[in-house]
């Protein structure tokens, strides 16, 4: 029987020395030593701020992700510096002894509409019936029967990224312009880091400030003092580059007009 499932994210492996190794790596570049009076992550943070982000490549973060759609998988695997192990739809048969039916994800827009949700569940039921018929009555192998499965079919996977790759990924996928599912997954991945990279003063309810600064949508991460959206269409949180430029042009024009008027008045 096909059934709806929920997204889950679990950090399964991580660097055991917090940000210490990154500080050590940063100190190597300058033949300095890590100042024991500085809070952990200070040196690595300075490097990251100056764009010397290769420091963040030391140490792998590994997550187990379940209950995400194959639509999300297509988006996630576009990030080329991540490594993946994904449940196979060739080797796992969704109408066998081990797995009785495929799992699926319901988009919130469909879940919010009772009729649409009923139709959705019914469609999944029909697809499961047809899949099982192909496999059991027509001896179609799973690798071919899967061609009728929808984008909403849930999958499970292991994904690994180093901190640098994760920051690049998270900045793109925390943006409100990213789709709700990958955005939610990314938020949970970021949240999972609080336990291993806690704020040294506020504790593990908060992420280490060096990372909290980076693990944000690009509009906030790149220029916090002047948040600017690089997308063509902003989510509304802050103006786009074009909108900022228009304001700057108008200000420059006003300045020029004022200068001309002053020059005329003086003449």
Binding site for ligand FAD (CB under 6 A): 78-81, 168, 172-173, 175, 177-178
Instruction: Check: CB of residue 67 under 8 Å from CB of residue 103.
Output: yes
Cα–Cα distance, 195 to 198 (Å, whole number):
6
- Least distance CB 185 / ligand FAD (angstroms): 13
Strand partners, 161: 61
Nearer to ligand FAD, 57 or 129 (CB): 57
Q: Are 28 and 71 in contact (CB under 8 A)?
A: no
Angle at which helices 163-173 and 180-192 cross, to 10°: 140
Q: Is 173 a catalytic residue?
A: yes
Closest separation between CB of residue 176 and ligand FAD, Å?
A: 9
Query: Which two tokens mark 169?
Result: 């990924």
Which residue number, 156 or 177, has a Cβ lying nearer to ligand FAD? 177
Catalytic residue among 146, 173, 177, 184: 173
- Parallel, antiparallel, or unpaired: how do β-strands 83-86 and 154-162 relate? antiparallel
Kindly state the smallest distance separating residue 204's Cβ from ligand FAD, in Å: 28
Residue closer to ligand FAD (CB basis): 172 or 194: 172
List, by residue number, the catalytic residues: 173
């Amino acid at each position: 029987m096909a059934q709806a499932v929920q997204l889950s994210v679990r950090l399964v492996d991580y660097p055991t020395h917090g940000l210490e190794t990154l500080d050590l790596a940063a100190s190597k570049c300058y033949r300095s030593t890590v100042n024991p009076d500085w809070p952990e992550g200070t040196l690595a943070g300075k490097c990251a701020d100056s764009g010397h982000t290769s420091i963040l490549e030391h140490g792998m973060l590994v997550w187990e992700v379940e209950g995400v759609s194959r639509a999300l998988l297509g988006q996630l695997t576009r990030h080329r510096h991540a490594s993946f192990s994904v449940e196979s739809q060739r080797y796992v048969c969704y109408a066998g002894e081990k797995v009785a039916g495929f799992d699926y994800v319901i988009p919130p827009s469909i879940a919010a509409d009772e009729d649409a949700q009923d139709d959705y569940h019914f469609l999944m039921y029909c697809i499961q019936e047809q899949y099982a018929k192909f496999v059991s009555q027509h001896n179609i192998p799973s690798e071919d029967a899967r061609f009728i499965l929808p984008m909403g079919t849930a999958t499970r996977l292991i994904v690994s990224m180093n901190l640098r790759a994760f920051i690049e990924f998270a900045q793109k996928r925390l943006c409100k312009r990213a789709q709700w599912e990958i955005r939610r997954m990314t938020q949970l991945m970021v949240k999972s880091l609080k336990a291993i990279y806690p704020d040294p003063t506020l504790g593990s309810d908060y992420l280490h400030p060096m990372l909290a600064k980076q693990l944000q949508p690009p509009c906030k991460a790149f220029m916090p003092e002047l948040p600017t959206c690089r997308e063509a269409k902003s989510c509304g949180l802050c103006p786009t580059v074009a909108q900022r430029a228009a304001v700057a042009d108008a200000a420059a024009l006003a300045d020029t007009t004022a200068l001309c008027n002053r020059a005329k008045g003086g003449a």
